[in-house]
Structure 1
Amino acid sequence: MKNRFTKVLAKASALVALCLVLVSAPALAQEEDSRFSMDVTLNSDTFFGFYPFFAGSYSVSPKLDFTFYGILWSGGTGGVQGAGGGGWGNWTEFGVGVGFEPAPGLSISPQIGITGGNLLSSGAVGPSIFGDGIVPNLTIGLDKAKTEGEIYLGFYAPLRDEAPAGGTTLSYLHYWANFGIKATDFFSVGAHYEHLINSGGSNVSSSTDLYQWLGPYVQFSKPTGGAFARLSFGTDLVDGNDSFFKVTTGFSF
């Protein structure tokens, strides 16, 4: 009788353990899934043309994220050298970094990227290579109940020198800042400033302003989050240029 009871108890314990595993597995998977996030945006502007962008993060601790990003510059129309992204050796950028939130609604993410193509390493005249350039960059984001904004600073430096005799490598300083007011859960409005400088590369005397944009933006967002569309437009402060537009639509996963 005792042996029979022991066997029944053992089977019952095994069944309970199995149930606990089955019940906890979705919860663990959900917790793991909540640590990962990813945003994808489709962009088109006056200078670069069409370029998709993605950014992701994975929470490694309550205060620190591992981050990664990529820019598919290959669709550009070209204002730097050559005929756009295709003329820059199918220019592409990928990077990793960290992210943290020093205060509610404020995020800081230093990252470092690497480019493939030939824009930086040879001024778009040499072979398309991996390791064309290196891109240290910093993004500061603001997302509060009534305000939003972003500051970005990136320096594009040649990682390799593949320029032919008489040619030059190239480097660029790219930065922007925008700030807006969330008028409603659906609509926000603000101002955008963006500047791209050809800092010369191996020919430092050739530093020039390529564009310097200043103007308003309007944005429409899904009230519960996950999708938005933004139009930025205005004047180009560089002599000889006229105006700019920048259209972005984004999705969060």
Structure 2
Amino acid sequence: MQNKITKITAAVTLTFVCFLGMSFQQASAQEESRFNMDVTLNSDQFFGFYPFFSGSYSLSSTLDFTFYGILWSGGSGGGWGNWTEFGVGVGFEPAEGISVSPQIGILGGSLLSKGAVGAGIFGDGIVPNLTIGLDKAKTEGEIYAGFYAPLRNEAPTGGTTLSYLHYWANFGIKATEFFSVGAHFEHLINTGGSNVAEATDVYQWLGPYVQFSNPKGGAFARFSFGTDLVAGNDSFFKLTTGFSF
């Protein structure tokens, strides 16, 4: 009798342990499904090489907490006080295949607060920004706008602070699960500063792009190129490769 009770107890214990294990695995899988991370490596002739990452954590079925960072210091930003951008915000989908993410970022460096002169400082500037994404079965696209405003005035005598408006829009057709083609427009404007009399165009790019994507998701490569519409400028090129986790 005692042996039978022992076997029953062991069976119940084993069943309970297996149940707990399955519950923990399910909870872990659900937790992982709430977190997303994308990393891209980018290069163009103005900013040079700059890694970018963005992530999100699902707060509910309709709202995400979002965060992002740009290591501008990999390219031209290396001369702007190790220019670095980090921000947080929220994300939601007003319709299927359309995502909206308002965010606010803070900068370290010297570009905005010192006019790219001297050592970088934390609080170089602030960046309210908005990203709208399109990802449907046959189409893709993105609209971005960010305003780069100085938080401090640390410009040396005779120097200036700087501010910028940076925005772009692109739209493409998914010709196959592997290949898509579209158009890209991007504009950077020096909107002013403590000793800047009027706004000026830095660049205004327009041209096509081609993209190759893993049909199963997770990786892609995009090449954009074309003309620069600003007088005196020539052409543009932008290369991006990205990974999703």
TM-score category by the smaller chain? over 0.9
Name the residue aligned to 1:251: 243
Name the residue aligned to 1:58: 57
Name the residue aligned to 1:172: 164
What secondary structure is seen at the aligned counterpart in 1 of 2:124?
strand
How far apart are the structure 1 equivalents of 2:147 and 2:196? 14
RMSD across aligned positions (CA):
1.6
Q: CA deviation at 1:22?
A: 1.2
What secondary structure is seen at the aligned counterpart in 1 of 2:59?
strand
Name the residue aligned to 1:126: 118
Q: CA deviation at 1:224?
A: 1.2
How far apart are the structure 2 equivalents of 1:102 and 1:204? 40
Name the residue aligned to 1:81: none
Q: CA deviation at 1:7?
A: 7.1
1:66-215 mapped onto 2 (5 Å cutoff): 66-76=65-75, 84-215=76-207
* 2:86 partner letter: F
Name the residue aligned to 1:227: 219
Q: CA deviation at 1:88?
A: 0.2
Unaligned runs of 5+ in 2: none
Determine if contact 2:160/2:196 at 8 Å carries over to the other structure. Answer: no
Determine if contact 1:126/1:163 at 8 Å carries over to the other structure. Answer: no
Q: CA deviation at 1:167?
A: 1.6
1:33-52 mapped onto 2 (5 Å cutoff): 33-52=32-51
What secondary structure is seen at the aligned counterpart in 2 of 1:90?
coil
What is the TM-score when the length of structure 2 is the normalising length?
0.95
Determine if contact 1:127/1:162 at 8 Å carries over to the other structure. Answer: no
Unaligned runs of 5+ in 1: 77-83
Q: CA deviation at 1:63?
A: 0.4
After superposition, what is the alpha-carbon deviation per residue over 1:174-223, rounded to whole angstroms, capped at 9, x for unaligned? 00000000011111111100000001122352311000001111111111
Q: CA deviation at 1:4?
A: 8.5
Name the residue aligned to 1:79: none
Determine if contact 2:43/2:239 at 8 Å carries over to the other structure. Answer: yes
After superposition, what is the alpha-carbon deviation per residue over 1:28-65, rounded to whole angstroms, capped at 9, x for unaligned? 11111011111111100121111010000110101000
How far apart are the structure 2 equivalents of 1:125 and 1:206? 20
How far apart are the structure 1 equivalents of 2:156 and 2:170? 39
Determine if contact 1:192/1:214 at 8 Å carries over to the other structure. Answer: yes
Identity of aligned residues (%): 77
Determine if contact 1:126/1:164 at 8 Å carries over to the other structure. Answer: no
Determine if contact 1:35/1:59 at 8 Å carries over to the other structure. Answer: yes
What is the TM-score when the length of structure 1 is the normalising length?
0.92
How far apart are the structure 2 equivalents of 1:8 and 1:251? 51
Determine if contact 1:96/1:111 at 8 Å carries over to the other structure. Answer: yes
How far apart are the structure 2 equivalents of 1:136 and 1:204? 21
How far apart are the structure 1 equivalents of 2:166 and 2:22? 50
How far apart are the structure 2 equivalents of 1:229 and 1:10? 57
Determine if contact 2:159/2:195 at 8 Å carries over to the other structure. Answer: no
Q: CA deviation at 1:27?
A: 1.2
